[in-house]
Amino acid sequence: MKYKINPDAVYREINGVYYVLLPRDKTIHRFTDVGSLIWRLIDKNFSESEIIKEVVNQYDVEEEVVLNDLENFIKELVEKKILLKIE
Amino acid sequence: MNDVNTRNISLIIARWEFLIRALDDVSYNVVIKLKNHMKSARKYDDIEKFNLFISYNNGISSSFFKACNYKLSDNGNVHKLEFRDCVGTIDWESKKSSVEISNEGVVSIDSFLRYVTSFLSLVQGGALVHSAGIIKNNRCFIFPGPSMSGKSTIAGLFRQRFTVIGEELSIILPSKEGYSVYGTPFLGSSSVLSNYGGYRLGGIIFHEKSDGYNIRKIEEVEALIRFVENVTFYSSSKKYANLVLENSEKITRSVKAFVMDFPNNSEWLSEFDKYLDEMI
């Protein structure tokens, strides 16, 4: 499954923390530090494996844990329409 | 249209005119008209003749209107907005406009004015924010919050101690000193007349009803997120969403922001007053 950032989403970064505004829904979402890192990598079109590798390097955690967290994070972003499935 | 609506329309229009004069930026003229079948009612006569002034500094894009949930007819510089019970026409070149109310128009005239106010606030670098506001030492402290969050309660509690600038919506605009806060014609639940102000923004205080009083400073991102949640904007376009974020960032960065727990009594007001003194 591939995803893309909702083209309507407006996002910015303050002190390393990303937040996203969906103007159609009038909702705003803030990411955690790890979420902000993952968002930055998604924005740069990193693949899932590249994202996992980067998070493992930066946070010194097990790859399995990262994979699980990443899946949950992406699921949440899709539910909130911040990410869209493209295939 | 019932008496309550009639009273509200008169109040909204009167407040609006007062506000725009207070902003000292009169360059736009809106005429409120009622349809023929309503002219017989004497109480509407004054409204029919009323001129409404709206400040307007910047260019406007028709895409903004198209992005909103209103039917729009675009004829060059003239935009016609059709609401459920009112039609608004805006000629951006001649700076003339009219709003025609058909029935139960208080909903639409209020929507029309909120719509224009929201847009004008954004393009001028500010925001229309759901908030109450109080004045202390010539500075305005705003209390942003959605409906039922306690804005009217706070305004009511503070009214004997401070000047209350409004309890429903405030306009925040850039000024030489940073940002200035203005009350608006839009009514809160207690329908108390606003002071239109133009006071320097002193601080932003988010609030939560509680059994006890407590106040704490919050970091920039939390302040921004909470603030944006209370900015009124009607467009779903990215352009205006970006304006919301840009302006909100600058506004929240310009002053300190806090979260306050408060009970529905006056016992904590002295402590809060002292806290404001320290903040200033």
Asked if B241 lies within 8 A of A23 by C-beta distance, the reply is: yes
pLDDT averaged over every residue in chain B: 69
Domain ranges of chain A: 3-85
Q: Is A10 on the interface with B (CB under 8 A)?
A: yes
Asked if A14 lies within 8 A of B249 by C-beta distance, the reply is: yes
- What is the topology classification, in CATH, of domain A3-85? Outer Surface Protein A; domain 3 (3.90.930)
* pLDDT one-digit tens code per residue, B89-128: 665 555 555 655 554 444 455 666 676 677 767 877 899 9
What residues of chain B have any CB closer than 8 angstroms to a CB in chain A? 220-222, 224-225, 228-229, 233, 235-238, 240-242, 244-245, 249
Instruction: Count residue pairs from A and B with Cβ separation < 8 A.
Output: 38
Task: Determine the distance in angstroms separating the CA of A38 from the nearest CA of chain B, rounded to an integer.
Answer: 18
Residues in chain A: 87
pLDDT the model gives residue B268: 94
Asked if B225 lies within 8 A of A26 by C-beta distance, the reply is: no
pLDDT the model gives residue B173: 86
A31: chain B residues, CB-CB within 8 Å: none
Please tell me the distance from the alpha carbon of residue B42 to that of residue B177, in angstroms, as a whole number: 46
B238: chain A residues, CB-CB within 8 Å: 8, 10, 23
pLDDT at B223 over 90: yes
**β-pairing verdict for B127-136 and B78-82:** unpaired
Q: Is A8 on the interface with B (CB under 8 A)?
A: yes
ipTM: 0.81
Query: What are the structure tokens assigned to B114, written together?
Result: 């909120």
Q: Is A19 on the interface with B (CB under 8 A)?
A: yes
Question: Which residue from A minimizes the CA distance to B239?
Answer: A10
Nearest Cβ partner of A23 from B222, B224, B236?
A: B236
Asked if B235 lies within 8 A of A26 by C-beta distance, the reply is: no
pLDDT at A73 over 50: yes
Query: What are the structure tokens assigned to A44, written together?
Result: 């740069």
Q: How confident is the model at residue B269 (pLDDT cuts 50, 70, 90)?
A: very high
Q: How confident is the model at residue B40 (pLDDT cuts 50, 70, 90)?
A: very low
pLDDT at B257 over 90: yes
Please tell me the distance from the alpha carbon of residue B173 to that of residue B180, in angstroms, as a whole number: 5
Whether the Cβ atoms of residue B118 and residue B244 lie closer than 8 Å to each other:
no
Please tell me the distance from the alpha carbon of residue B259 to that of residue B218, in angstroms, as a whole number: 7
pLDDT at B26 over 60: no
pLDDT at A79 over 70: yes
Asked if B221 lies within 8 A of A24 by C-beta distance, the reply is: no
How far apart, in Å, are the Cα atoms of B149 and each of B143, B208, B224? 10, 7, 18
DSSP chain B: --HHHHHHHHHHHHHHHHHHHHHT----EEEEEE-GGGTTSGGGHHHHT-EEE----S---HHHHHHSSSEEEEETTEEEEE-SSEEEEEETTTTEEEEEE-SSTHHHHHHHHHHHHHHHHHHTT-EEEEEEEEEETTEEEEEE--TTSSHHHHHHHHTTTSEEEESSEEEEEEETTEEEEEE-S---TT-PPPP-EEEEEEEEEEEEE-SS-EEEE--HHHHHHHHHTTB-----SHHHHHHHHHHHHHHHHHS-EEEEEE-SSSTTHHHHHHHHHHH-
* pLDDT one-digit tens code per residue, B157-211: 998 888 888 888 888 988 888 998 887 766 544 444 445 567 899 999 999 999 9
Task: Determine the distance in angstroms separating the CA of B211 from the nearest CA of chain A, rounded to an integer.
Answer: 28
Nearest to B246 by CA among B135, B152, B123, B151: B123
Please tell me the distance from the alpha carbon of residue A21 to that of residue A13, in angstroms, as a whole number: 12
Task: Determine the distance in angstroms separating the CA of B235 from the nearest CA of chain A, rounded to an integer.
Answer: 7
Task: Determine the distance in angstroms separating the CA of A32 from the nearest CA of chain B, rounded to an integer.
Answer: 11
Query: What are the structure tokens assigned to A8, written together?
Result: 């309507």
Amino acid at A42: I
Nearest Cβ partner of A10 from B222, B229, B241?
A: B241
Residue B153 neighbours by CB under 8 Å, 6+ apart: B209, B264
pLDDT averaged over every residue in chain A: 89
Any idea what DSSP says for residue A82?
S
Query: What domains sit in chain B, N to C, each tagged with a CATH number?
Result: 3-123 (no CATH), 127-279 (3.90.228.20)
Q: How confident is the model at residue B212 (pLDDT cuts 50, 70, 90)?
A: very high
More confident residue, B63 or B187: B187
